[in-house]
Amino acid sequence: MDKRPTLMSGRITSRTSTESRRPDASVWARSRRRRTAARQWVARAALPIALTLWLVSLRDVELREMGDLGLLQVLPVLFWVALGLLALGFCVALSDRRTGSGWFAGYVLGLIAVLHATPTLLYPTLRYGWAWKHVAVVDAMIRNGGDVPNADKLSIYNQWPGFFHINALFLQATGLESSLGYAAWTPPVYNALLLVPLLVLYRAVTRDRRLIWGAAWIFYSCSWVGQDYFAPQAFAFLLCVTLIALVLRQLPSSAPPRPSSPGGGVGSTTWSAGRLAMVVLIIGVIACSHPLTPLMLISALVALSLPRGNRRVTLPVLACAVLLTGAWDATIARPYVSENLEDFLGALVHPDANVVSGLAALGTAAPGQVQVSWIDRGLSAAVFLLAVLAFLARPWVRRTGFPLLVVAPLPVLTANAYGGEMIFRAYLFALPAAVFLIAALLFPWGRRPLLRALVVYPLLLAMIGGLVFGYYGKEAASYFTKDEVAASNFVTATAPPGSLIVSLTSDVSSLHMYYDKHPRVQLDEQELEDRKRLVRDPLAGLEPFIEEATAREPAYIVLSRAQAAALYLYGTLPADTMQRLESAMSKEQGFTRIYDNKDAVVYRYQNPDEEEQ
């Protein structure tokens, strides 16, 4: 080393003494490695700890204490700690560009498990009345070898039977007795399966794995609509997202990004014979499984066809979708389409009515449900607002197909009210694209990525907070005890063929089993005047539906805990309607109390005038 004196600022110094005062680069590097190692340790430790805390938190949950806000009122503090720790670990993992896809997958699957497996693990029976109904449809189609006769309102499933036939084939191939054995696990399994096409969708426009997994996390944090139970809607939506992902990969803008941009590139613009055959098969299954999803798919393909450069890819798929959907609706589904054509045309004239949901309420919704409704709206509005901000602030996302996919469901929103729930379906179909825009807005990784991740953390927590209100807030009516199921099973097992089965709401378990043998009446969905009469005088309101009951074909009136909860929560009928009806039946000639337990009661009715004859 050279130790000759050096003249510097009028002083004699040595190079050795100068160098000794410089910061040691190796010390800074070691400090950086320690910080990185600590960050990796936190990211890897948070996942197993959070999942352990979650499982421990489910040991003692008093489900009977659910009220206005469902599971939110009974889940312990430890559950929320686990959810918060899971989100924190994910944010820390995002801050490190070296985090592998395996860890991201673990966090997203962990979020799916915590959110969607919790009811499955807690409840002793299948959750949600419509899921029980779909189990009954699969059973009836197996029993009848196809179309179910005397299906009444459930005849719509004969016209879109794809989902049910696939489950029937699965049961016959596996030897299982009923889809009830696996239907309870549909929400977590379905959401895990949906992750695959979501990843394909996002990889079509970027190779930044943190952006891809961030979008997937946000999707599951904002998907509050709850269309993930055992249903044709969930099945068709999964296929629809898969098809859009395949199309997006073929678009000219779909390829690994250029180094200077998070997105962009040039992809293949022609379909191979194998891929096109797969696309046609998916469209066919969608068209025969659900009436709404093909319309959403066609609208999305039309939107993606607006840029001229996309049309070589999108137009063949769009033509297949239009032809297959039109052919199905004009043949197999023609009875339903013809019967409701006037309503479809009326909806086009009054599109504003499609945004308003539900029947006219004759009671008052619970205070907690009013809160849930506003939080759902707030989360939905926040998703679209953040997507718009991303469109403005991140110019590169405009070259992708995602902005078009966000607005694609809007035309379908004007076409049909879909039982008052069309606005929820429009949100659901727009969500996969909207969350990618949000991820592009929130996660532009540059300097200090850990600080950015921690700043975003409260927003991710707020999204999950909004989701749990919509997803868990109605569980008091979606949860069925073993006693409720026992009462329903008693009725369907003992009622003679042709007997009428009556309930106040749809919140019942297995009453639709053997629906081809037992006509069903649900009182809260009747015409407004019929419901008003029921409110004024429960027996007078019930009488028109049961007056033809005989000793050979009596009527069965089933009242249960979940129905009472539904009346209280939603207010479609006054909360005391069930109590008043039971009190009146217990005093009236012709009604016999034939079954009861702590959660349900069953009355049998036959016309007393017939008994005298």
For tokens 């670990």, name the residue: 89
Residue pair 548/509 in contact by the 8 Å Cβ criterion? no
The pLDDT mean for the chain works out to 87
Range with the lowest mean pLDDT among 10-19, 43-52, 67-76, 215-224?
A: 10-19
Task: Reduce the DSSP state of residue 605 to 3 states and report it.
Answer: strand
181, 556, 603 from 586: Cα distances, Å: 37, 14, 9
- Quick: pLDDT tens for 441-465: 998 876 777 788 888 999 999 999 9
Mean pLDDT of 269-275: 83
- Quick: pLDDT tens for 61-70: 999 999 999 9
- Quick: pLDDT tens for 580-598: 999 999 999 999 999 999 9
Element (H, E) at 458: helix 449-472
Range with the lowest mean pLDDT among 9-18, 176-185, 231-240, 420-429?
A: 9-18
Q: How far apart are CA 501 and CA 490, in angstroms?
A: 12
The predicted pLDDT at position 609 comes to: 67
For tokens 């009622």, name the residue: 495
The predicted pLDDT at position 14 comes to: 46
pTM: 0.89
Quick one: CA torsion of 291, 293, 298, 299, rounded to 10 degrees?
Answer: 110
Among 341, 353, 496, which Cα is nearest to 417's?
353
The predicted pLDDT at position 274 comes to: 87
Among 527, 534, 588, 523, which Cα is nearest to 558's?
523
The predicted pLDDT at position 30 comes to: 61
77, 181, 376, 476, 578 from 369: Cα distances, Å: 22, 31, 10, 11, 20
Residue pair 418/425 in contact by the 8 Å Cβ criterion? yes
Question: Residue 425 burial (CB < 10 Å; 0-12/13-18/19+)?
Answer: buried
Q: How far apart are CA 43 and CA 53, in angstroms?
A: 16
Higher per-residue confidence, 413 vs 321: 321
- Quick: pLDDT tens for 436-446: 999 999 988 76
The predicted pLDDT at position 261 comes to: 43
Composition of the chain by helix, strand, coil, percent to 5: 65, 5, 30
How far from chain centre, in Å, is Cα 82? 22
Task: Provide the total of helices (H) and of strands (E) in the chain, helices listed first.
Answer: 28, 7
Residue pair 530/166 in contact by the 8 Å Cβ criterion? no
